Amino acid sequence: MTFWSKGASPATQVVAIGIGAAIFFVLGRFVAIPSPIPNTSISLQYAALALLALVYGPLVAAIAGFVGHLLIDTTGYGLWISWEISTLAFGLIVGILLLRVNVRDGVFSSKDIFAFNGAIIVANAVAWLLIAPTLDVLIYAEPAGKVYTQGVFAFASNSVVTCLVGTLLAAVYVKTQTRTGSLKLED
């Protein structure tokens, strides 16, 4: 297992990035739930991105999230590089924090679930409480009160939705994997 890929071949990584970006785009563009905070929605796509980070590692998740978010913004709100960078950071952080969790062995223990949800919360805090609003102020001269309010909402809603839906997705994924040592040779 390498640091960036969790052992996936380069071809598998490229395919995972493409599929991950497409899923992120579709969920973010067509399944976003409106929120009371302007230009901010309740997002399901981060659950898929967290699963991608869990299975394929930080590099795949970071690139897929960045490209997917770029596609969402260029077909909707307009380009907000601060938020694309925040999504990249989310995928990268979740992937790095979960490098030791190997769901490909068909196991997703209580300890793994705790690590998964902890990584999601930490990554959301860094992305939406720190990076996105700070870059909005620095790059776009946005009012700090507005963008930090958006960041707090994005942190809270993304954390809750991603922990709940992401954990369910991971549990379903694990059921598709063969447990290490579960196969026996018949005589």
How many residues belong to the chain? 187
Within 8 A by CB and 6+ apart from 82, the residues are 131, 132, 135, 136, 139, 140
Return the closest-CA partner of residue 8 out of 75, 67, 61: 61
Q: Max Cα separation, the chain?
A: 72
Helix 81-97 vs helix 132-140: crossing angle, to nearest 10: 150
What pLDDT score was predicted for residue 39? Answer: 84
Four-residue CA torsion sign, 171, 174, 179, 185: positive
- Determine what percent of the chain falls in helix, strand and coil, rounding each to the nearest 5: 70, 0, 25
Q: What is the pLDDT of residues 139-164, one digit of tens each?
A: 999 999 999 999 999 999 999 999 99
CATH among 3.40.50.300, 1.10.8.620, 1.10.1760.20, 1.25.40.10 for 10-175: 1.10.1760.20
pLDDT of amino acid 179:
75
Model confidence band, residue 185 (pLDDT cutoffs 50, 70, 90): low
pLDDT of amino acid 7? 79
Identify the residue with better confidence: 180 or 175. 175
